[in-house]
Copies of this chain bind each other. A is one copy, B any other.
Amino acid sequence: MSSATDYSQTDIAVQVLRARRAARELARLSADQRNQVLLAAADRLQARETEILKANREDCESLEHQVRAGAASVALLKRLKTSSAGIDDMARQIRDVARLEDPLGRVLSTTELDDGLTLQKVSCALGVVAVIFESRPDVVPQVGSLAIKTGNGLVLKGGAEAQQTNRVLVSVWHEALVAVSPSLRHAICALADRADVARILAMDRDIDLVVPRGSNEFVDYVFQHSRIPVLGHGSGICHIYVDSAADLNMAREVIVDAKTQYPAACNSVEKVLVHKDAAAEFVPELVSVLQSAGVEVRGCPQTAKLLPRSQIIPATEEDWHTEYGDLKITLKVVSGMDEAIEHINHYGSRHTESILTRDSRAAELFMDEVDAASVFHNASTRFADGFRYGLGAELGISNSKLHARGPVGLEGLLTYKYKLHGSGQTVTDYAHGKRTFKHRRI
């Protein structure tokens, strides 16, 4: 049965310290043992389905009251609700992570510095990672499985609206961990108090990475208030550039998909740039199909000229900086690819940018010169996602260029250390020319 979860009962600093110790123990386990924890958790998750759904119903009922009172959004409620199929999905994702290769202790390079002096660069866990999220109960199994696979301690701070659901989900992890060793339980700790966010962000010595998953405003808040490295992304202002050599039927389909399939996603397209030579034919057709799909279209003056009077809203400077996250889009006619690249590098959020063209040389140039985590040729921006990329599970999406970029899986929770094996060497011998380095790559 489930063991009780120590929700905020213990001082957070103590919990984080315990998580760090338990993570060391976790990293010492064999890959098989860590995978067994994962598989046990997947089984227990499905075995406790009734309990999870009951907790989730309670959370949803509380939130429904708030939605009716106008204190919470329907979108939040939607993201909170899970189902029997949802739980099966969570279990499947955990099993997917168990199947991935062991990421720990991989020798990334070996250099013989001198006789009996060998340097290895070896992958290892970060230490303790904090994930701060809203609603979405599937975050608990997802990041839990990544943390256990990589030997990291995990501090989970979920939203108050998901407290009952998260409590059961976290206890599933505790069950699976305790089955191996009682002290492993501390590897995952859960907090639910709003004030804990500030406490987490202040622990720059003890927490190695913060992953905020929530609204743009919240992610920006974390970026601004943390001295801990942050893996996340604020806005997703994604562009599609329709080249003069584009297949215009394909372009129409890809743009409609990228805008309408799930407009709230960070990888949905917000701006379309059309080469002037394709504009006269393509723009009226695109605007018509988008408007039929319920999309509000804005455009630059040149776009407007190609359309019957007042069919679209004139674009303002602010439009180019705005992620709508909604059925809205802004169009611009550009003189050529250079202008498109300059525009994207100036206004884009370095998330995902796509070029539609039959000209593969133009595509390569665009993909090299556009500064973004994901650059696509003839594909919808909506493909930028850890599951679609085949990463197993997604820790988050990073718009930063450092550490991990784009959709991030296991590798976001890893670092490396240099291990040097010697036989009593001193640098004095090398400084005085008594010995010289070999630096032989092995």
- Residue numbers of A with Cβ under 8 A of B are 20, 24, 27-28, 111, 113, 117, 119, 124, 126-127, 208-209, 223-224, 227, 229, 247, 250, 253-254, 256-258, 261, 345, 363, 367-369, 371-380, 382-384, 388-390, 400-403, 405-407, 415-428, 430-431, 437, 439
Contact = CB atoms under 8 A, between A and B. Distances in A.
A93 B377 CA distance: 40
Contact of A209 (B119, B402, B406): B402
A229 B383 contact: no
Question: Which 6 pairs of residues, A with B, have the shortest CB-CB distance?
Answer: A379-B422, A257-B426, A390-B439, A250-B424, A402-B403, A401-B415
Contact of A389 (B111, B373, B389, B406): B111
B417 A373 contact: yes
Contacts of A405: 415-418
Contact of A406 (B28, B223, B418): B418
B420 A383 contact: yes
Contacts of A371: 127
A417 B261 contact: no
A428 to B, nearest CB: 5
What does DSSP make chain A's interface, helix, strand, loop or mixed? Answer: mixed
B418 A208 contact: no
A417 B363 CA distance: 15
A371 B345 CA distance: 38
Contacts of A417: 367, 372-375, 405-406
A306 to B, nearest CB: 24
A86 to B, nearest CB: 16
16 contacts: A113-B383, A124-B368, A127-B371, A127-B401, A209-B401, A229-B400, A254-B426, A257-B427, A376-B419, A376-B420, A378-B421, A378-B424, A379-B422, A382-B426, A383-B427, A405-B416
A128 to B, nearest CB: 10
B388 A418 contact: no
B373 A418 contact: yes
A388 B426 contact: no
A321 to B, nearest CB: 12
A427 B113 contact: no
A238 to B, nearest CB: 13
A282 to B, nearest CB: 15
A24 B127 contact: no
Contacts of A390: 111, 113, 119, 437, 439
Contacts of A208: 401-402
Given A390-B113, A405-B416, A24 B375 contact: no
